[in-house]
Amino acid sequence: MRILLIEDNEELAGTIVDRLRVEGHCVDRESDGNEANDLLRHSLFDIILLDVNLPGKSGYEILRSLRARGDATPVLILTARSQIDERVVGLDAGADDYMVKPFDFRELLARCRVLARRRSGTASNIFVAGGLSFDRAAKRAIVAGKDVDLRAREVQLLEILIDNLGRMLTKEEVADKLYSFDESPSMNAVEQIVTRLRRKLHDTPLVIKTARGLGYMAYVADDE
Amino acid sequence: MALGFMALLLIISLLLWNYARGAANRTYDLLLAGAALAVLERVSPGPNGPSIDLPSSAMEILALAPDDRVVYRVFSPDTGVITGTTDLPVPSDMALQATPVFFDAPYGDPFRFVLQGRQMNSPDGRLWVAVQIGQTLEARHAQQLSLFLNGMTGLAGISLIGLGFVWLAIRRALSPLRQIEADLSARSPGDLTPVEEASPSEISGLFDAINGFIVRLDRNLKLTEGFIADVAHQIRTSLSALQGHLSLAVDSKDPKKMHARLVRAELQAERTVRLTNQLLANAMVIHRSDRATLKPIALKPVVRDTVAEMLRDSRMRKIIVTFDADQVADGEDIVIADALSIREALRNLIDNAIRHGPPDNTIDITLGIEDDALALKVEDAGPGIPEADRARATERFTSMRQDTAGSGLGLAIVQAVVDGHHAKLRFGTARKGGLSVMIAFPRAIGRAATSLFIIIALALGLVVPDGAVAQTITIFSATDTPAMAPVIAEFEARNPSVTIVYEEYQTVALHKAMLAGAAPDVVISSAMNLQVDLVNRGIARRLDMPEAEALPEWSTWRSELFGFTFEPAVIIYNSELFTPEYLPKEHRELANFIRDNAITLEGRIGIYDLRGSGIGYLFATQDAEQGMQSQRITEILGQSGVRTFCCTSDMVAATASGEISLAINVIGSYAMSLAAQDPRVGVHFLSDYNLVMARSAFIPKIAPNPAAAELFVRFLISEDGQHVVATQSQLIPILEVAEIESWAFSQLRAQKGSFLPIRLGPGLLTYLDNLKKSNFLEGWDASVRRSR
């Protein structure tokens, strides 16, 4: 993956870059907000790791102009401020995830993998995770080389889950996305569709986690 | 400031100027009044009308104002000026009265006049004689100016002295403040001993407040110092361990041992990171509970979002999490709280479960209602905390297990949040065997919902303030029900929300009931003296009604008691026995008339029983005020075997049937209405004077429904109400209602000049004095019962 790290602290930046390179990623690093902003105008990356406090432009400003240009590259915010309010600002500004310093490198890598998965699942038509391969255009899922028989709602649900990998969706959110405005969704129906899809994807690394009272979250087990 | 003082000075000057004029007028009006009295005293009837022997004392009294000119005249409205200046001015609307009337009028120079009249008996009957005396204003003006200047001088002196005292007092009162100022500004920041100063009691509260604050500051500082010492110790220890592992790793020659050291160093670094994070969180939570950051928030979304956020952590993949808030409806989860602190507490509880429990732990989060509290419960299936250790679990730096890298701060943070929210923290054993932690927040919903309901209800008009709700008012009244029924019916028709309960009383019984503490909404009675007595006791409510301005002055008192009928005392007679011409014309002829017809009238005259009838007593005493002849009449009535009656209707009936021939001082309203229907009953007015009483109403201060009661009284005296009285009841309205033609009204108009209204006021109290009353009634008994 091609990753851009925007971080002004030399020590921290050095360790992150080293760690990511060890994992086999291609890492660029910027320490100045303005320069990073200019770079993002011309170059494409798979993931951006963005510090908030930067010389020149702040992380939020960079993020805002990135999204304003219509660039959907996943952004993971790195911040030393623990107050939730500011995190929300970051997410509202269009960030995909955030981590508070100091963070565990393993957790950082895990989050990056989730973002990359989500990005590839959305950007390309083919989503691959272990033995599972899902073709959005053809609405076909193949597990271990065999076609899986998916109903229309199940295909829709799979798309929704892939678009929101690693993110908790409430049952109501799922229902709203599954059903059009004039259909009246029943929560039981949603539960049944989830159960059926989970059974059909049982042997794949794509896990649909249910948290009762909260909702559903899909993640790829191999990644962790 | 100066402007305000000038304005104040101006106002005081104006007030003082007016006061001085009033005082000067009062002083010199006494001279005028004294002179007028002296003159009137010397008026006497003569063969050619009244005459006057002008007393020298009158002029001497007036001469006490030496520089003023004097004019005077004595006159009778009937016979013209008797003596003095003929063309003295009198305001056109002024009626002759027995009390002195003062007024200013120009007569060349400005003059002040007194006008006072007196009724006297003459061979031609009763007639008015009046004196008018005028005086120029020099002495008054001099007096006014002198009073004003003296007042202003005194005021100025006192103001200056007062200002001096104020200045001294302020300096003296504030001197302890200057000492505090010096004390506080000279202090080093670390000196937190209390301020010691003998303070005057007025500002001892301030001293207590300052010292109280210093004590709290000191305590807080000591706590902070303790915390910092703990933190320093913890972080240094942790960093030392990290440093130790790293330096051993650097020195190690064996790559395997070096790797092992590094692994331990990394673990130690992890602990240090967590410790630091927790310390910062703890400080943040404590800091936020100090500041007033609490506001009403919905707890459910805060809990849900926090858990959803934590689920992104890859450590939670295998952990089963449930959230149950079904017991709490939306809107029932409002607590006064700080969302950030609650997130921190919940995060620590979940983190504890992850850290201390198995990788496939189950965490059940429940939001429920327990009694008056909103209970947030976090339960897990981990090892839990033994019951014996729970009490010290929330102490700082007390980690229950060394092997799980606990900082010993998680539950301390939770405890701090709980304390900052006035919530309760309870530990228990979870259903799945692990620890159960419950935080019970006091609910804001109870109070808020109630007040919200009231606001909404008010907005919808469900709860209507006093006024438009159906009301019942109770009237206690000494007036025949049929006489009042039409008025009440009309009032109820116009005010559908008000229902009237009417209770009829005799005048004396009503008076007694009121003295005993009865609480009707309106009290109505014909006994003016008893009504005045009640109002004089201060039990009536003051009513500011625009309608009352139209009432004659004699029929209201203190804006509390209002007369609403006009009821002359009349003589009724059996018209088959007498013709009107045969009856006496004046009071003084009445005695002779009875004596002349002694045989025919023996046992055939009716009067009220004064002991049972309030109205009878009122008329009798007012007659006695008019002169000696009433005593004579009473005696002659006694000799003629007069019969006493309780009430008007009985007397009218007896007269109609011929049982009696004549009844004296009967209430004219009833008599005239009955006479209009029964030709055998005649109504006779005397030409010298006819007493007039007014039926009056007041609202007691303790009336249960004063607003509705006021509506009723306003209606009674309004033009509409008076019209109903005139047209539909047998009573006679106090206002002259135009366009009504009836026998009774034409009779009244014909007698207009002879009416002598009884004035509502303290004058009626004279005959209510116990001794005076018993003397009067004994005299009456002696006269009336002599025949028996």
Residues B385 and B350 in one domain: yes
Domain boundary among B268, B291, B314: B291
Q: Which domain holds residue B254?
A: 201-291
pLDDT exceeds cutoff 60 at B786: no
Whether residue B270 sits in one domain with residue B361 = no
Cα–Cα dist B316/B360, whole Å: 9
Please, which residues have CB within 8 angstroms of residue A82's CB and are 6 or more apart in sequence?
A: A100, B277, B280, B281, B284
- B330 close contact with A: CB closer than 8 A: no
Considering only A167-176, B83-92, B409-418, which range has the smallest mean pLDDT?
B83-92
Whether B479 is covered by a domain: the verdict is: no
Give pLDDT, residue A93: 65
Do residues B443 and B315 share a domain? Answer: yes
- Closest to B36 measured CA to CA, from B111, B105, B131: B131
Using a CB-CB distance cutoff of 8 angstroms, which residues of chain B are in contact with residue A209? 311, 317
Q: What is the mean pLDDT of residues B175-188?
A: 83
Query: Chain B residue closest to A80 (CA)?
Result: B277
Region B41-53: mean pLDDT is: 76
B15/B371: higher pLDDT:
B15
> B139-145, long-range: CB within 8 Å, 24+ apart, which pairs?
B139/B28, B139/B65, B139/B66, B139/B67, B139/B68, B140/B21, B140/B24, B140/B25, B140/B28, B140/B65, B140/B112, B141/B24, B143/B20, B143/B23, B143/B24, B143/B27, B143/B28, B144/B17, B144/B20, B144/B21, B144/B23, B144/B24, B145/B20
Judge whether B578 and B594 are in contact, CB under 8 Å. no
Residue B29 pLDDT level (bands cut at 50, 70, 90): very high
Q: Look up residue A142 and give its DSSP letter.
A: E
pLDDT above 90 covers a percentage of chain A that reads: 27
Edge-to-edge order in the sheet of strand B522-525: B498-504, B471-478, B522-525, B696-698, B561-563, B556-557
When pLDDT is cut at 50, 70 and 90, the band that residue B177 belongs to is confident
- Which residue in A97, A213, A221 is closest to B322 by CB distance? A213
Residue B330 lies in a domain: yes
**How many independent structural domains does chain B possess?**
4
**Cβ separation A104–B270 shorter than 8 A:** yes
Residues 6+ apart with CB under 8 A from B157: none
Mutate to test the interface with B, among A92, A209, A222 (most CBs of B within 10 A): A209
What digits encode the pLDDT tens for the residues B79-95? 788 877 788 888 888 88
Of B311, B326, B365, nearest to A217 by CB-CB distance is: B311
CATH code assigned to A126-223: 1.10.10.10
In a domain, B260, yes or no: yes
Looking at residue A192, its pLDDT comes to: 92
- pLDDT score of B188: 85
Q: Model-level pTM greater than 0.90?
A: no
- Same domain for B104 and B212? no
Residues B277 and B215 in one domain: yes
User: How far is it, in rounded angstroms, from Cα B376 to Cα B367?
Assistant: 5
Of the two residues B672 and B161, the one the predictor is more confident about is B161
Judgement on whether residues B326 and B388 belong to the same structural domain of the protein: yes
Q: For an interface test with A, which of B273, B288, B312, B378 has the most A Cβ atoms less than 10 Å from its Cβ?
A: B312
- What integer pLDDT is reported at residue B185 of this predicted model? 87
pLDDT tens figures, B184-196? 888 888 888 887 7
How distant, in Å, are the alpha carbons of B567, B570, B578 from that of B677?
Answer: 18, 17, 18
CA distance A214 to B25: 91
B340 to chain A, closest Cα gap in Å: 7
Predicted confidence (pLDDT) at residue B198 exceeds the cutoff of 70: no
Residue-wise pLDDT tens digits, B281-304:
888 888 777 666 778 888 998 898
Would you say residue A74 has pLDDT above 50? yes
The whole-number pLDDT of residue A197 equals: 93
Residues of B in contact with A117 (CB under 8 A): none
Does residue B639 sit in the same domain as residue B772?
yes
Enumerate the residues of chain B whose CB falls inside 8 A of the CB of residue A168. Answer: 308-309, 311-312
Pairing of strands A126-129, A97-100: unpaired
Alpha carbon distance A71, B104 (integer Å): 97
Amino acid, res. B517? G
User: Could you say which of B262, B291, B320 is where a domain stops?
Assistant: B291
All residues of chain A having their beta carbon less than 8 Å from the beta carbon of residue B277 are: 82
The reply to whether B588 and B620 lie within a common domain is yes
Residues B407 and B443 occupy one common structural domain: yes
pLDDT at B586 over 70: yes
Of A101-115, B228-242, B316-330, B397-411, the least confident: B397-411
pLDDT value, residue B447: 47
Helical axes B629-639 vs B770-784, angle rounded to 10°: 40
Which of the listed residues B243, B265, B291 is the one where a domain comes to its end?
B291
- Calculate mean pLDDT across residues B363-389: 89
Mean pLDDT of B12-36: 91
What mean pLDDT is predicted for residues A196-222? 89
Q: Are residues B224 and B113 in the same domain?
A: no
Question: Nearest CA to CA, how far is B423 from chain A (Å)?
Answer: 23
Query: Hey, what are B367's tokens?
Result: 């939001």
Residue A85: is its pLDDT beyond 80? no
Tell me whether residues B281 and A168 touch, CB distance under 8 A: no
Structural domain includes residue B668: yes
B431 pLDDT higher than 80: yes
Structure confidence by residue, pLDDT tens digits, B328-350: 888 788 888 888 889 889 999 99
- This model of the complex carries an ipTM of 0.83
For B761-774, what is the mean pLDDT? Answer: 70
CA distance B107 to A147: 127
What CATH number is attached to the domain comprising B637?
3.40.190.10
* B64 shares its domain with B205: no
State the nearest Cα–Cα gap between A6 and chain B, in angstroms. 23
User: Which pLDDT band, with edges at 50, 70 and 90, does B450 fall under?
Assistant: very low
pLDDT of residue B463: 40
Q: How far apart are CA A83 and CA B728, in angstroms?
A: 83
C-beta separation of B74 from B81 below 8 A: yes
**B365 and B436 both lie in a single domain:** yes
What would the pLDDT profile of B86-128 be if each residue is shown by its tens digit? 888 888 888 888 889 999 998 877 889 999 988 887 777 778 8
Task: Tell me how close the Cα of B333 comes to any Cα of chain A, in angstroms.
Answer: 16
Look at residue B493 and tell me if it is in a domain.
Answer: no
Q: Which residues of chain A does B307 touch, with a Cβ-Cβ cutoff of 8 Å?
A: 211, 214
Q: Is the pLDDT of residue A6 over 60?
A: yes
Read off the pLDDT of residues A7-19 as tens digits, 9 standing for 90 and up: 999 999 999 999 9
Beta carbons of A214 and B280 less than 8 Å apart: no
Q: What is the pLDDT of residue B454?
A: 46
Tally A–B CB contacts below 8 A. 59
Contact (Cβ atoms closer than 8 angstroms) between residue B403 and residue B466: no
Q: Does residue B738 belong to any structural domain of this protein?
A: no
Residue A90: which pLDDT band, with cuts at 50, 70 and 90? low
Q: Give the mutation candidate from A84, A220, A222 for the B interface (greatest B CB count, under 10 A).
A: A84
C-beta of residue A210 within 8 angstroms of C-beta of residue A194: yes
User: Are A214 and B307 inside 8 Å of each other by CB?
Assistant: yes
Q: Is residue B62 part of a domain?
A: yes
Q: Which residues of B touch A111 (CB under 8 A)?
A: 312, 314
B314:A107 CB<8 A: yes
How sure is the predictor about B788, in pLDDT bands with cuts at 50, 70 and 90?
very low
pLDDT tens string B386-397: 888 887 777 777
Q: Calculate the average pLDDT of chain B.
A: 84
- B317 near A CB under 8 A: yes
- Residue B578 confidence (pLDDT): 82
Specify the range with the lowest mean pLDDT, choosing from A62-66, B130-134, B447-451, B616-620.
B447-451
Q: Give me the CATH number covering residue B437.
A: 3.30.565.10
- Residues in chain B closer than 8 A to A97 (CB atoms): 312
pLDDT band, very low/low/confident/very high, at B469 (cuts 50, 70, 90)? low
Q: Quick one: average pLDDT of B354-362?
A: 89
Cross-chain residue pair B323–A97, CB shorter than 8 Å: no
Domain ranges of chain A: 2-123, 126-223
pLDDT of residue B17: 92
For residues B745 and B445, which has the higher predicted lDDT (pLDDT)?
A: B745
Most confident listed range (B278-292, B702-716, B768-782): B702-716
B48: pLDDT strictly greater than 80: no
B145: pLDDT strictly greater than 80: yes
Residues of B in contact with A102 (CB under 8 A): 273
Q: Is pLDDT of B448 > 50?
A: no
B468 found inside a domain = no
The percentage of chain B sitting over the pLDDT mark of 90, rounded to a whole number, equals: 20
Classify domain A2-123 at the CATH topology level.
Rossmann fold (3.40.50)
